[in-house]
Structure 1
Amino acid sequence: MSLTELSGTAPPEPSPTADTPARPARRVSPFGALLLRLHFYAGVLVAPFLVVAALTGLAYTVTPQLDQVLYGDQLTVAQVGDRPLPLADQIGAARNAHPDGSIATVQPGDGDQSTRVTFSLPELGEKQHTVYVDPYTAQVKGQLTTWFGSTPATTWLDDLHRNLHLGVVGRHYSELAASWLWVLALGGVILWWRRRSASRASARHLLVPDLSTGGGVRRTRGWHATIGTWLAVGLLFLSATGLTWSRYAGANFGAGLDALSARTPVISTSLTADPAAPTGTDSGHDHGDSGPGGLVESAAFDRVTAAAREAGLTGPVEIAPAAEPGSAWTVTQVDNTWPVAKDRVAVDPTGGTITARSDFADWPLLAKLSGLGIQAHMGILFGPINQILLAALALGLLCVIVWGYRMWWQRRPTRADRRALAGTPPPRGGVRGLPLWALLIGVPVTVAIGWALPLFGVTLLAFLIIDVVAGAVSRRRRPASAPTSPAPIAG
């Protein structure tokens, strides 16, 4: 779960009478007290970042349908023909419509999908121009400025989710949210399990809210914790996959993949002998784009595609001309829905022979998991079901956050002499009560996690410093006659 757990102090106990003996306040272990305080403060302070991540992620889940509404005329064809025209004709039409730039990739149309011819231009930076062509008539259906194949709307929503359109600085928000999400989710489950175990509630009440407690903070806590428990696995997944391409933690993750030789394999595009440049074309980076049509260069796309199909690459593929003369072209399967197809081959464009191959089945396990995890995080891996699950996670997270803040408000003092806007935080003292062995293990582990997840480490250190300073100030202001006995702590 991802927000303020439970509360901090136990609900008021009934006043003792002659018939009802006083019941001692229930206390938790130092570990439970520390976890409760960390969960409370992290939830209160990190929740706004999680709200933004949930809302922007929820918007991103509908991008496939949004693309179809906004760009359906370009992305798809109205009538599927018997067989596609040669790629040479389709690329020639795209070049006539877009005479500038060099061809970066071509994705042949399949079924009702348009052929996508993508052009690189220096002034566009990471973005490109994609021309959409009807594969059955070679009619140009439109042109969009794309980013790694994504339409303008998808690119805009992706930037909103990743960095709020603030560039590198904005990426800190999403990394901070992902860095703390797993802590809040896992910590919340532990706290809820401890509370239900202490009250001897049935295991069923871990997953079903206990509505017999009446209203108020207890019912809110039941919904907050139970729904958070249901969401926990999904939130842990979103946290882990989000961190893999974050700025700082993602860099450490990449360094770990390098150390373990677990990166996506690089396919070799070297040729044993430099092939002669086709007649009438430029052998440089533009691949023969000497004029509209580029017929000789375009014919190589058909040759390369035919070789890849013979090698077993089925479904949608993407053809990338060589970045340098005398190198092989690459053809990559781009089916990212389960079961995925990501095999690649390198092809000599002059002879149409396969020079290298890289199959997804042979990738290192971590490379596979990383790639599949990213596709699932983006709502692609399992199609519409994936989108629905992500939307449910986002909505559930928003509900848990709202319930967490509601608990904080419901626990506020209401007596005339003790009114406050919100409930008091859980008491201090958890660290001082920990056994030595827990400190010897916990401190190095926390430092290691902080090194691997730098934004988590920095903010955790900031929380600790602020808490220590606030405690020192509070003690100095406390009257000398104030009672020193600790307040009861809720479990």
Structure 2
Amino acid sequence: MTIDDPTRPETAEPPTSTDAAAPAPTTAGTGTGTGTWSALRPLVLRLHFYAGVLIAPFLLIAAVSGLLYALSFQAEKVLYAHELEVPVGDRVLPLSRQVQAATEANPDGTVTAVWPSSEPGATTRVLMADPDVAEGASLAVFVDPYTAGIRGQLPSYGSSGALPLRTWLDELHRDLHLGDLGRNYSELAASWLWVVALGGLLLWLGRRRKNRREIFVPERGPKSRRRTLSWHGSVGLWAVTGLVLLSATGLTWSRYAGENIDLVRSRLGGATPTVSATLEGAAAGGSTGHEGHGSGHGGHQPPAADGPDVGIDQVVEAARAAGVDGRISVALPSEGKGYVVKETDTQFPVHLDSVAVNPADGTVMDELRFADYPLLAQLTRFGIDAHMGVFLGLFNQLALAALALSLVLLIVWGYRMWWLRRPGRPVARGAWRKIPPTMLLPLLAATALVAWFVPLLGLSLLVFLVVDLAAGLVTRTRSRDRDQNRDLT
């Protein structure tokens, strides 16, 4: 994130307004030294400057909290080792026996789902609705699958099963623990991150340099603004793809832009399907079943659930026979619904198939394979899981940490360059007047469309314009006063 003009020569004297407005040298052979780029560059630079000064604090908070969140996965394994791990025993007890132990330990809770032990030495997690747990979370009772002993009870949040540490950091990253008001900060950061990253990329590639190696490798000379700029540009170049992806996936959770994204996904047929667990004869309207995945997969319509519940052990056996295996979660049936058994292995290649099982006879009512998801729904799932740090496990978490750290450094370097070059402006005002009308009109149309789709980006851009106009008015007023005083003397 370049906060000051990256094209100024390295000098000992502070820059003047004329120096700030000097035309930028371009990179030979990169294709950026065209009339188009020469016209657009001042506008990109000024936008990059204001975004760097005014949005960087929000980006810094998001980056620091995101870094802590990325590290929380491994921290949870250490902090909650007693709840998550047990000595490997000789025989795994029936899942129904483990659930019984959990209900005996917490008779006031209602079991809603079960996550069976997925590997030797891992506990089974029995999720319960409990009045003492915050809204949106479940009480997780950790059961030793070999002895049915209770290892502990902790609040658990979301499909990834975040425990208190990760949940606290996740909320810090999302809304600063301020609720809906705090979500505006993260949406503002996500709205501008891609603009700042791509604008910085264009500015960095548009510099004149002796060889292409300088684009990718930072300088190692004595400390100076030039070396800071070199590190800022090179690191930004390596990080830009990841930062843009973080921005895009982060917007899917936002309040305002997220609604527009969901609408577009639905219009394009990219909504995420779900398996249909509604029992025959149950009231309609409670199901969110997927299209094209009804009785054709199960082979018959499910009968009404008028018999006894076959139990969770037989349900899991039926699901595994249908190919839903490995790490799974079992959602217990509610009124008019059957069991839903889902694969939860998000590491590549992902295993996210799911089936609905009739509690009366243990037959599979419906199946949904991840391969049958619309392509857009698959890509959305990959992007969201990658943003959450669960797509590729430890590698994903380390990549997130590296991106967050790189963003912190980019912001610090940007402010340092601004400090070293104070006072001064990145480029003279009125840069938009130099853009040909044939280019300006499509640019304004595209800006208006993006501002409508990403509302906080549009509103903050309007604020930038007001600030710029006010600063220009103040500058002209002071200049006029100086001229009048000079005439009087």
Residue matched to 2:367: 357
Residue matched to 1:418: none
Is residue 387 from structure 1 mapped to residue 397 from structure 2 by the alignment? Answer: yes
What is the one-letter code of the residue matched to 1:75?
L
CA apart distance, 1:175: 1.0
CA apart distance, 1:440: 1.3
Contact 1:6-1:221 at 8 Å conserved across structures:
no
Secondary structure of the residue aligned to 2:356 is strand
Residue matched to 2:49: 40
Residue matched to 1:267: 275
What is the one-letter code of the residue matched to 1:358?
L
Structure 1 unaligned blocks of 5 or more: 15-23, 279-296, 413-421, 483-491
Tell me: CA distance 1:464–1:115, structure 2 relative to 1, closer, same or farther (3 Å): same
Question: 2 CA distance for matches of 1:267 and 1:475?
Answer: 65
1:303-342 mapped onto 2 (5 Å cutoff): 303-325=314-336, 327-342=337-352
Contact 1:379-1:386 at 8 Å conserved across structures:
yes
1:156-305 mapped onto 2 (5 Å cutoff): 156-195=168-207, 199-211=208-220, 215-272=223-280, 273-278=303-308, 300-305=311-316
Question: 2 CA distance for matches of 1:103 and 1:201?
Answer: 67
Q: For 1:132, which of 139, 142, 149 is the aligned residue?
A: 142
What is the one-letter code of the residue matched to 1:94?
A
Is residue 402 from structure 1 mapped to residue 442 from structure 2 by the alignment? Answer: no
Question: 1 CA distance for matches of 2:148 and 2:223?
Answer: 66
1:320-469 mapped onto 2 (5 Å cutoff): 320-325=331-336, 327-412=337-422, 422-469=423-470
Secondary structure of the residue aligned to 1:318 is strand
Q: Percent identity?
A: 46
Contact 2:5-2:427 at 8 Å conserved across structures:
no
Contact 1:376-1:386 at 8 Å conserved across structures:
yes
Contact 1:7-1:411 at 8 Å conserved across structures:
no
1:25-64 mapped onto 2 (5 Å cutoff): 26-27=23-24, 29-64=38-73
Q: Report the aligned-residue RMSD.
A: 2.1
Query: Which range moves more in the overlay, 369-378 or 340-349?
Result: 369-378
Secondary structure of the residue aligned to 1:274 is coil
Question: 2 CA distance for matches of 1:227 and 1:67?
Answer: 30
Secondary structure of the residue aligned to 1:94 is helix
Q: For 2:152, which of 112, 137, 142 is the aligned residue?
A: 142
Q: For 1:105, which of 100, 103, 113 is the aligned residue?
A: 113
What is the one-letter code of the residue matched to 1:300?
G
Question: 2 CA distance for matches of 1:175 and 1:26?
Answer: 34
CA apart distance, 1:82: 3.6
Question: 1 CA distance for matches of 2:203 and 2:50?
Answer: 14
Question: 2 CA distance for matches of 1:336 and 1:152?
Answer: 21
Tell me: CA distance 1:480–1:59, structure 2 relative to 1, closer, same or farther (3 Å): closer
TM-score normalised by L of structure 1? 0.85
Secondary structure of the residue aligned to 2:306 is coil
1:197-230 Cα offsets, whole Å, 9 max, x none, are xx25322211112456x65322221111111111
1:51-98 Cα offsets, whole Å, 9 max, x none, are 111111111112222112221111111x22243211111111111001
1:281-307 Cα offsets, whole Å, 9 max, x none, are xxxxxxxxxxxxxxxx5x611111010
Secondary structure of the residue aligned to 1:431 is helix
Structure 2 unaligned blocks of 5 or more: 14-20, 26-37, 281-302, 484-489
TM-score normalised by L of structure 2? 0.85
What is the one-letter code of the residue matched to 1:439?
L
1:271-328 Cα offsets, whole Å, 9 max, x none, are 33322142xxxxxxxxxxxxxxxxxx5x611111010010111111111122323x22
Query: Which range moves more in the overlay, 161-170 or 201-210?
Result: 201-210
Contact 1:264-1:367 at 8 Å conserved across structures:
yes
Q: Bigger relative contact order, structure 1 or 2, given CA contacts below 8 A and separation 6+?
A: 1
Residue matched to 1:470: 471
Number of residue equivalences: 438
CA apart distance, 1:121: 3.0
CA apart distance, 1:43: 0.5
What is the one-letter code of the residue matched to 1:309?
R
Question: 1 CA distance for matches of 2:378 and 2:23?
Answer: 48
Tell me: CA distance 1:170–1:480, structure 2 relative to 1, closer, same or farther (3 Å): closer
Query: Which range moves more in the overlay, 182-191 or 383-392?
Result: 383-392
Question: 2 CA distance for matches of 1:80 and 1:27?
Answer: 66
Question: 1 CA distance for matches of 2:327 and 2:224?
Answer: 55
Is residue 92 from structure 1 mapped to residue 89 from structure 2 by the alignment? Answer: no
Contact 1:318-1:331 at 8 Å conserved across structures:
yes
Q: For 2:88, which of 80, 86, 95 is the aligned residue?
A: 80
CA apart distance, 1:102: 1.8
Contact 1:30-1:429 at 8 Å conserved across structures:
no
Residue matched to 2:294: none
Question: 1 CA distance for matches of 2:137 and 2:84?
Answer: 18
Q: For 1:117, which of 126, 138, 144 is the aligned residue?
A: 126
